[in-house]
Amino acid sequence: MQVRDNNTQLLYGLFQSICGWALDTGYKDISGMKNLLKLAMVDTCHKRHEDKSTLAGQMAIVADLGISLRNVQYSLKALEEVQDLTSGFVKIREIQKEITIILLAEPQTEEQILHEISYLIHAPHDLQKRTLKTILRDMVKKDILRTSEENGATYFNASGPHISLFDTTDLSSRVSGLLTHINAYNNTIGRPLYKIFAVSHSQARGLHKAIHEFLLGTGNAYEHECSEANSVTKPYYFYIGSAPNKNPGTRPPISEAILEVIKARFNDPESTSMIRNHWYHLTPSAARCVYNEVRKFVEHEGILASQESDLREVHPFTFYFGLADRQRSDSIEENQS
């Protein structure tokens, strides 16, 4: 291939990286890759013209990409079908959650698990198997799952004390998630963040989503960095919660605030509240970096939301965020058992 300018070289480099990742994960469908690129181009162009009417937006895509109107309409329909089918493509966390729910009932082999969750991995069967194998290996490494041997077969088991689920249809999962949250607080490293922001319910929901996604992205990035460097790591908890402060003008101890958050989540899962437990294998310095970055994000976004609030709709919301030594927590559980 002859590279004629910097833009072409940059795109070629990006495509090389994508293709390298695809080959590493077992994806070798060239025609499928071309179709995905075409859909991505149409989708990106479509988002640039979202303010236009349907036909005007489609004609703008025709002009931008130089393809026929029929081609554009076909691509948009295909894109809608893909997004409807996968809820915005496969999300690893959703698959992990489904696996954990399945294993709460009973241990299962890899083949049995794949039979249950294959609908979440939209790929050829061989790639489904490779994807599941990678996910299971990661969950075992993080001690979300454990393995056992029986009659020559490997069974996967849920690590009960570390399950963090708030499934309204599964009481045992919800209780286990609550215990994990309290356990993390009891093994906090340093002083957790504890703030009260005056925001509306809609702003609180937006903050919850933004904080959760920022914590996920930051934790995953540092865990990947530690893994790439072959660093010596250990498991750390990151716990976070929020709920309306029922006594405006007061600042209860953080332990009381956590109990209020737990009550809100347990009694009314649809309330404007949040409770999350995350764990990552990190070095001590990386764990502190994750904590500091997320803490700054919470403080900055909370203050910003407070400044932009309509005073007629605001309510005091409690937010807390902490880092805990999960390994120390594990040893305490073993000593008590």
User: What integer pLDDT is reported at residue 174 of this predicted model?
Assistant: 62
Query: Angle formed by the axes of helices 254-267 and 171-186, to 10°?
Result: 170
Domain 92-158 has CATH 3.30.590.20: no
**Mean pLDDT, rounded, for 29-51:** 85
**Mean pLDDT, rounded, for 294-313:** 87
- Look up the pTM and report it: 0.51
Instruction: Report which of residues 135 and 193 the model is more confident about.
Output: 193
The whole-chain average pLDDT of the chain stands at 79
Q: Grade residue 303 by pLDDT with cuts at 50, 70 and 90.
A: very high
In angstroms, rounded to a whole number, what is the distance separating the alpha carbons of residues 235 and 222?
A: 13
Q: Are 318 and 245 in contact (CB under 8 A)?
A: yes
Most confident of 33-37, 214-218, 261-265: 214-218
* Whether pLDDT at 106 is above 90: no
Residue (of 268, 277, 250) closest to 93 by Cα position: 277
Give 216-249 pLDDT, tens digit per residue: 889 888 988 888 888 888 888 899 999 888 777 7
Helix, strand, or coil (residue 157): strand
- Residue 116, both tokens: 């249950």
Residue with tokens 């090389």: 16
* Whether pLDDT at 65 is above 80: yes
Give 124-147 pLDDT, tens digit per residue: 677 678 778 888 988 888 777 889
